Amino acid sequence: MNKKVIVQDLGLKDYKESWDFQEQLFKETIDLKIKNRREESTKETPNHFLFVEHPHVFTLGKSGDLTNLLVDEKQLADKGATFYKINRGGDITYHGPGQIVGYPILDLDNFFTDIHKFLRFLEEMVILTLAEYGLKAERSEGETGVWLDVGTPFARKICAMGVRASRWVTMHGFALNVNSDLGYFDLMIPCGIKGKAVTSLNVELGKKEVDMAEVKQKLLRHFSKLFEAEITL
């Protein structure tokens, strides 16, 4: 099993360009798996982990409800935002500057063939990272992602998640609010969950800005331990 994970930081990149790149890596891995099976080969499949920041964009998962977007195309354009319907699970999500987006494109045959465990490990990676900043983050039953003050009137989401998998190869991933402009979340019902607030790491820490590179390093360290992965930069 190949537990090496190639990490790339794409910087600030258009959503569609990033999606196309993900699809390319995803397809290459699946094609190799099919070829291996057909030829009874044991050639190792690669594992990737992409970090990226997107310009303002709203994305709707395949099971999502468009009415959870509260503005029309013109209002989106006025806010400098774009919109895409995509092939991950989950409902509506916002991405924008100041948010760390992570796309693990893993062949789970190299790790474990369990999508629920994969999602729980991604959540745990974020929970452990936030703990290093003194925050008690948790899961919220029946709601994928990472939250603060679960079970109270002050419950708020700090990290959204949505993945797709085919032949045990994953794509899409998580979006952790670090220095996000939270005003953009008012333009939608986040993840289709009414009455729940959204927050960002800098807001929780009472800081103007948190070092994004430092947060990424912490995420990768916890990812590496949880998945027993060897990180290749």
pLDDT tens digits for 113-136? 999 999 999 999 999 999 999 999
Give the pLDDT confidence score for residue 199 in this predicted structure: 96
Token match 């927050």: residue?
Answer: 199
What integer pLDDT is reported at residue 68 of this predicted model? 85
CB atoms within 10 A of CB 114: 12
pTM for the full predicted model: 0.94
Q: Is 159 a catalytic residue?
A: no
What's the average model confidence in pLDDT over 133-161? 93
Which among 159, 191, 198, 210 is annotated as catalytic? 191
> At 190, is the pLDDT very low, low, confident or very high (cuts 50, 70, 90)?
low
Is residue 124 within a helix (H) or strand (E), and if so which, with residue range? Answer: helix 115-131
- Using the predicted structure, report yes or no on whether residue 142 has a pLDDT greater than 90: no
Q: What is the pLDDT of residues 161-181, one digit of tens each?
A: 989 999 999 999 999 999 999
Query: What tokens appear for 175 in the block?
Result: 């979006």
CATH architecture for segment(s) 4-232? 2-Layer Sandwich (3.30)
Residue 163 CA to residue 160 CA, distance in Å, equals 10
CA atoms within 13 A on the CB side of 121: 22
pLDDT greater than 70 at residue 60: yes
pLDDT of residue 193: 60
Element (H, E) at 82: strand 82-85
Closest CA to 198 of 118, 110, 95: 95
Tokens 């700090």 correspond to what residue? 158
Identify the band that residue 66 occupies on the pLDDT scale cut at 50, 70 and 90.
confident
pLDDT over 90, % of the chain: 75
User: DSSP class of residue 43?
Assistant: P
Confidence band for 3, pLDDT divided at 50, 70 and 90: very high
The pLDDT, as a whole number, for residue 110 is 97
- The model's pLDDT over 71-111, given as tens digits with 9 standing for 90+, comes to 887 888 899 999 988 877 677 889 999 999 999 999 999 99
> How many residues are present in the chain?
233
Task: Yes or no: say if 148 and 133 are a contact pair by the CB < 8 Å rule.
Answer: no
d(CA 163, CA 66): 19
- pLDDT, tens digit (0-9, with 9 covering 90-100), for 13-27: 999 999 999 999 999
Whether 194 has a pLDDT exceeding 80, the answer reads no
Q: Which residues contact 19 (CB under 8 A, 6 or more apart)?
A: 84, 86
For the chain, give percent helix, strand, coil, nearest 5: 35, 30, 35
Q: CA Rg, the chain, in Å?
A: 17
For the chain, the domains span 4-232
Residue 73, H or E segment: helix 73-78
